[in-house]
Structure 1
Amino acid sequence: MRLAPTALWLSLALALNLAPFGPLAVGGASARAPIYVSSWAVRVTKGYQEAERLARKFGFVNLGKIFPDGQYFHLRHRGVVQQSLTPHWGHRLHLKRDPKVQWFQQQTLRRRVKRSLAMPTDPLFSKQWYMNNEMKPDLNILQVWRQGLTGQGIVVTVLDDGIEKDHPDLWANYDPLASYDFNDYDPDPQPRYTLSNENRHGTRCAGEVAATGNNGFCGIGVAFNARIGGVRMLDGTITDVVEAQSLSLQPQHIHIYSASWGPEDDGRTVDGPGVLTREAFRRGVTKGRGGLGTLFVWASGNGGLHYDNCNCDGYTNSIHTLSVGSTTRQGRVPWYSEACASTLTTTFSSGVATDPQIVTTDLHHQCTQRHTGTSASAPLAAGMIALALEVNPLLTWRDLQHLVVRASRPAQLQAEDWRVNGVGRQVSHHYGYGLLDAGLLVDLARTWLPTRLQKKCVIRVIHTPTPILPLMHVPKNVSACARRRHGIRSLEHVQVRLSLSYSRRGDLEISLTSPMGTRSILVAIRDAVPLHTAALRDDGGHGRAAPGPPGDQQRVCAAGHRGAVPG
């Protein structure tokens, strides 16, 4: 079938009261200058012996392989301060001059916050309104259980602050092979106990997925016979190495990684995965599960109060993650919700303080009915995906994205931006394709035929520098690489890599319009948020700070868009 030329419209809508131009570029960013730690990631071609030689020669301690193939190694130097505002130039020079070193990077502190909302704790199935048929429509999980599907044989790992593995509602399903502590580098992911119970997040998320059923205690998990693991990685120094190792744990054993964290949801931070974490995602989807691809389920973020936008979060807007948003019991947009084009689907969570919330396991062998935020939504989706994998274990990571799109429905979800896209599906920046229906997901998974091999078509839209106007359209007629080796038959993902200059990124709106008129907002105006402390990163994820007053030039990212186009 010949593809007719199509037009991609890149719309740059800017407030009329903007100051002179400043820079804008693709990449992650943080509102703080990078803090360097005493560890390095190094790539060498000849494996362990070469890494040992480097360690002995320059005084490092070789902490072992980062990935199983033995090319990337984690080195630490005891003679370097634990944290510093500047990199260690001496070791940088040594590693740069060594001909056997292909790549290296001194690790920096990565600030990651748990996407939970500070609410009190409390406990049972009768309280699990989102799946006990108390309301209609709910997540339609009872229909799946009636088919005898409970997550049997599927392994889900929660990447967080640990998991209380001896909890009465978790121990029977706990999987030590799917667990590790990358904060202290030992096999025990038990959380660190404090007076404020700050490390309860992972245990709460785990209970939503696989709390044991029919044992007379607490509530029940969506996939209550799935194996559940926990990775402790948020309760200590967080680096690119830590994140990459967490996302790469046992990729042939673990089916689904559930993550309810990310860069700060403060309306200022534009940040994303580093070099190693991006490589972990790539390896996960290409090599995980015997080549079928690991499933990375991600909470979209809780920055609604700060006008945060999850398009500026490089984890949720990666094509390799399945981003999940929230709705309240009444089908309204929660106050913490972030609207963005990268969200694919939605499950339930809380609204205002008096609304019912999510029931799950809690620290000290307790239960709670006060789990909230998109943190609570992502594990529900992970459990539902586990049910789909049980009925069809051969689904690829791309298959699951197609299925989630088709199994999500607008239902009773209220939003002002529902639109019908070019293939007749309703889509919203608040909810993606709507409320995920477990029964429909499983029914579709049972007879799903594998998607074709993924192809990529790269097209340059702007070749020369172009002045930015207050309202600007950038049209491009393309044929999706038709009649070429990488010709596209049907569209799954669109990634926009854009570099432009402007003085205040909060005054900038960037949108992509498809040939059939579907408009996806890539960057939204955030004029209510002061952005003068922003320090953003280049496309490689390396820090290049640009702090200053609002008139100073700043950089912003509009990359990795997973637009409203699958299906």
Structure 2
Amino acid sequence: MTIVKNRFILIIIIVVTMSVAIQQSAKALSTKDAYRGLVQGPVLNTRYFFPDDPYFSNQWHLDHLARPDANVVSAWGNGYTGAGVTIGIVDDSLQHNHPDLSPNYVAADSFDFGQNDGDPSPVFADDNHGTSVAGVAAARGGNALGVTGAAPEAGLAGLRIDFANQTTQMFVDATLYHSSGANTNIKVKNHSYGISAPYIDSTPEVNALQTSAGAGTIHVFAAGNERDDHGLFSGSDGDANKKHMQNVQETIAVAALGWNGTFASYSNWGANVFVTAPSSGSGVGITTTDRTGNNGYNSAGSGDGDSFADTNYTSIFGGTSSAAPLVSGIMALSKQANDNLDVRMAKHLLAMTSVVVDEFDATETSDGGWTANAAGYKFNQNYGFGLINADAFVTHAKLFGGVSPLVTETTGLITVGSAILDAITSGVTPSTLSRQFSLSTSGMLEEIEIDLGITHTYRGDLQATLTSPWGTTSRLMYRNITDSINNLDWTFTTNAFWGENPVGDWTLTVEDWFSIDTGIWDSFSVFAKTGNLFTPVPEPSTIVLFGICLSGMAGRYLWWRQKQRREVQKRSVTNV
């Protein structure tokens, strides 16, 4: 047999007869532990990709043995690059003539909602953000130029918002554009923006998200960067569950993991956070595309703190703004693997495959550290279900046909009408007021939503917790002494009960943490949402799988990298 470097030289045809009985048995699985057995078996390899881009070695968030990367190289090794999937970048611009973005740019699916034309290029001097976001998601890989994105062959659609002159309608239109109605070309949309203040109603945008997600689009949101300001400045809150667009079922809220393997100092937390991805932290940034020349973040001789020599790229990008598009790129890889992937299916897969990091985290914002619920899922409000693992996520996506229809049980409006007493010891021991309610619809919980109505003279005093019949407890929102606004009427979302059977008696508790102000707990209502993954159930059939034998430097690297990763993962606590 002749060995040819970096070529596929051996095709093995494997005939597999799939049993309907086995598939039907798998369909009945309802817990995380039961899903574990499904990851074994052959995986369809189509084409091996490994980047020859010169700055790939700087992209630690994609591949690094000693640091927490997203494990995309193994997914690429199974042939998934995002080809055929378009990612919409809802942002301040996309410089589509950038040499590392132009090969993936899809003009027909792009639009500028500020200038009302089809060109999402930068308009203002500070329109830098979207070009860097786009590079993290889907800069062209394998072109011997610059960097690669997580989905190196996915399409890129620029959906420009004029942030300097923004209107609600711009965000609504960008959310719906080519991902609803007759045109659903854009399968994944990235939203690396948010509102720093808590409890801002965004109903028009949320309605658009629900419409678009209903058409199959996966919407990924940055969880936000307000952690550092929480409790210090009014109008800024680090609890992502107080952000409307980030806490609805139709979006995936992404927190940021720093270079040192713990949550980034700026990264928001919350019961609604779903997953974590690597981003800037501990003095190390993300290397990605920048506006060309001296127009972007990296300007030669400007003292901008970026020492990267090639000013078409920046090495100081970051925030949850960078964590989100990394997840968006991985969504594109999985959408290529399974066209049935939607946001609900993606969430099930993320809960199953994400990796526990910072195992001994006991910070207050974590809500008790890593907690395993009755279904076996581990959750931490700083990280959601953990660090995204692209290879495991894509592998699992191939195993399932979709997710069952959503079932929602609601309690209706429950009137409380009871006084919330002042804190017992301000900032130390809160007053508490609890109510019980019951749910009766059996199934596997996805999100559970709690609509709280409270009359109070200082809403920042308040926290609330929810306890399931299985004893799992989740904090719904975290107090903020600088939030002096009156009253609270908000729907909170928690993922901490994912997979649990909701049947039984639940306890909802409201707490007052700071002295002087008091209030009335008026009412609440509950929406428990259940559903589960299902496997395809074909008739007995013969499926031809093509195994690919690799040689040369790329093949040896993949073998070595996977061997080293297995050694690292032996010492990791995972959610799988």
Q: TM-score, normalised by structure 1?
A: 0.68
Q: Cα 1:302–1:348, aligned 2, differ >3 Å: closer, same or farther?
A: same
User: Which residue is 2:354 aligned to?
Assistant: 408
User: Which residue is 2:385 aligned to?
Assistant: 433
Q: Cα 1:343–1:376, aligned 2, differ >3 Å: closer, same or farther?
A: same
Say whether residues 1:250 and 2:204 are aligned partners: no
Structure 1 residue 414, shift from structure 2 partner: 5.3
Partner secondary structure for residue 90 of structure 2: strand
Partner secondary structure for residue 326 of structure 2: helix
173-182 vs 134-143, which moves further: 134-143
User: Which residue is 2:76 aligned to?
Assistant: 145
User: Which residue is 1:99 aligned to?
Assistant: none
1:344-383 matched pairs, under 5 angstroms? 344-352=274-282, 354=283, 356-364=284-292, 366-383=312-329
Partner secondary structure for residue 244 of structure 2: coil
Q: What amino acid maps onto 1:330 in structure 2?
A: N
Q: TM-score, normalised by structure 2?
A: 0.67
Say whether residues 1:478 and 2:420 are aligned partners: no
User: Which residue is 1:297 aligned to?
Assistant: 220
User: What CA distance in whole angstroms lies between the structure 2 residues aligned with 1:202 and 1:413?
Assistant: 33
Q: What amino acid maps onto 1:511 in structure 2?
A: T
User: What CA distance in whole angstroms lies between the structure 1 residues aligned with 2:262 and 2:68?
Assistant: 14
User: What CA distance in whole angstroms lies between the structure 1 residues aligned with 2:487 and 2:145?
Assistant: 51
Q: Is the 8 A contact 1:350 1:357 kept in 2?
A: yes
Q: Cα 1:477–1:496, aligned 2, differ >3 Å: closer, same or farther?
A: closer
Q: Is the 8 A contact 2:338 2:397 kept in 1?
A: yes
Q: What amino acid maps onto 2:325 in structure 1?
A: P
User: Which residue is 1:525 aligned to?
Assistant: 479
Partner secondary structure for residue 379 of structure 1: helix
User: What CA distance in whole angstroms lies between the structure 2 residues aligned with 1:202 and 1:350?
Assistant: 17
Q: What amino acid maps onto 1:444 in structure 2?
A: H
User: What CA distance in whole angstroms lies between the structure 2 residues aligned with 1:332 and 1:489?
Assistant: 34
Say whether residues 1:459 and 2:411 are aligned partners: yes
Q: What amino acid maps onto 1:515 in structure 2?
A: P
Q: 2:463 aligns with which of 485, 497, 509?
A: 509
Structure 1 residue 177, shift from structure 2 partner: 2.4
Q: Cα 1:157–1:429, aligned 2, differ >3 Å: closer, same or farther?
A: same
User: What CA distance in whole angstroms lies between the structure 2 residues aligned with 1:461 and 1:280?
Assistant: 25
Q: What amino acid maps onto 1:250 in structure 2?
A: H
1:79-90 matched pairs, under 5 angstroms? none
User: What CA distance in whole angstroms lies between the structure 2 residues aligned with 1:461 and 1:232?
Assistant: 40
- For residues 238-297 of structure 1, the C-alpha deviation after alignment (integer angstroms, 9 at most, x for no partner) is 22211110100001100001001011x2xx4321423x32221121122x2xxxx21010
User: Which residue is 2:374 aligned to?
Assistant: 422
1:215-226 matched pairs, under 5 angstroms? 215-226=143-154
Listed as ranges, the gaps of 5+ residues in structure 2 are 1-53, 231-236, 294-311, 363-368, 424-430, 500-576
Q: Is the 8 A contact 1:129 1:135 kept in 2?
A: no
User: What CA distance in whole angstroms lies between the structure 2 residues aligned with 1:294 and 1:284?
Assistant: 6
User: What CA distance in whole angstroms lies between the structure 1 residues aligned with 2:443 and 2:84?
Assistant: 35
Q: Cα 1:157–1:246, aligned 2, differ >3 Å: closer, same or farther?
A: same
Partner secondary structure for residue 559 of structure 1: strand
Partner secondary structure for residue 145 of structure 1: helix
Say whether residues 1:230 and 2:176 are aligned partners: no
362-371 vs 231-240, which moves further: 231-240
Higher relative contact order (CA 8 A, sep 6+): 1
1:310-389 matched pairs, under 5 angstroms? 310-352=240-282, 354=283, 356-364=284-292, 366-389=312-335
446-455 vs 232-241, which moves further: 232-241
User: What CA distance in whole angstroms lies between the structure 1 residues aligned with 2:472 and 2:165?
Assistant: 42
User: Which residue is 2:543 aligned to?
Assistant: none
Q: What amino acid maps onto 1:192 in structure 2?
A: V
User: What CA distance in whole angstroms lies between the structure 1 residues aligned with 2:115 and 2:163?
Assistant: 9
- For residues 423-444 of structure 1, the C-alpha deviation after alignment (integer angstroms, 9 at most, x for no partner) is 1221101000100100100111
Structure 1 residue 556, shift from structure 2 partner: 2.8
Structure 1 residue 521, shift from structure 2 partner: 1.6
Q: What amino acid maps onto 2:266 in structure 1?
A: Y
Structure 1 residue 148, shift from structure 2 partner: 1.3
Partner secondary structure for residue 265 of structure 2: coil
Q: What amino acid maps onto 1:273 in structure 2?
A: S
Q: Is the 8 A contact 1:333 1:415 kept in 2?
A: no
User: What CA distance in whole angstroms lies between the structure 2 residues aligned with 1:154 and 1:272?
Assistant: 32
Structure 1 residue 234, shift from structure 2 partner: 3.9
Partner secondary structure for residue 338 of structure 1: coil
Q: 1:185 aligns with which of 112, 116, 119?
A: 116
Structure 1 residue 449, shift from structure 2 partner: 3.2
Q: Is the 8 A contact 1:332 1:414 kept in 2?
A: no
Say whether residues 1:555 and 2:487 are aligned partners: yes
User: What CA distance in whole angstroms lies between the structure 2 residues aligned with 1:136 and 1:186?
Assistant: 42
User: What CA distance in whole angstroms lies between the structure 1 residues aligned with 2:418 and 2:141?
Assistant: 60
User: What CA distance in whole angstroms lies between the structure 2 residues aligned with 1:555 and 1:476?
Assistant: 22
User: Which residue is 2:341 aligned to?
Assistant: 395
Listed as ranges, the gaps of 5+ residues in structure 1 are 1-122, 483-487, 535-553
User: What CA distance in whole angstroms lies between the structure 2 residues aligned with 1:137 and 1:232?
Assistant: 31
Say whether residues 1:491 and 2:420 are aligned partners: no
Partner secondary structure for residue 521 of structure 1: strand
User: What CA distance in whole angstroms lies between the structure 2 residues aligned with 1:383 and 1:403?
Assistant: 15
User: What CA distance in whole angstroms lies between the structure 2 residues aligned with 1:518 and 1:306?
Assistant: 29
User: What CA distance in whole angstroms lies between the structure 1 residues aligned with 2:351 and 2:245?
Assistant: 19
User: What CA distance in whole angstroms lies between the structure 2 residues aligned with 1:414 and 1:259?
Assistant: 31
User: What CA distance in whole angstroms lies between the structure 2 residues aligned with 1:150 and 1:199?
Assistant: 28
User: What CA distance in whole angstroms lies between the structure 2 residues aligned with 1:493 and 1:371?
Assistant: 32
Q: 2:62 aligns with which of 128, 131, 134?
A: 131
- For residues 308-353 of structure 1, the C-alpha deviation after alignment (integer angstroms, 9 at most, x for no partner) is 211110011111101100111221121101121000100001223x
Partner secondary structure for residue 277 of structure 1: helix
1:55-74 matched pairs, under 5 angstroms? none
User: What CA distance in whole angstroms lies between the structure 1 residues aligned with 2:248 and 2:495?
Assistant: 11
Q: Is the 8 A contact 1:319 1:560 kept in 2?
A: no
Q: Is the 8 A contact 2:351 2:377 kept in 1?
A: no
- Paired residues, what number? 403
User: What CA distance in whole angstroms lies between the structure 1 residues aligned with 2:139 and 2:243?
Assistant: 30
Q: Is the 8 A contact 2:262 2:357 kept in 1?
A: no
Say whether residues 1:306 and 2:229 are aligned partners: yes
User: Which residue is 1:566 aligned to?
Assistant: 498
Partner secondary structure for residue 244 of structure 1: helix
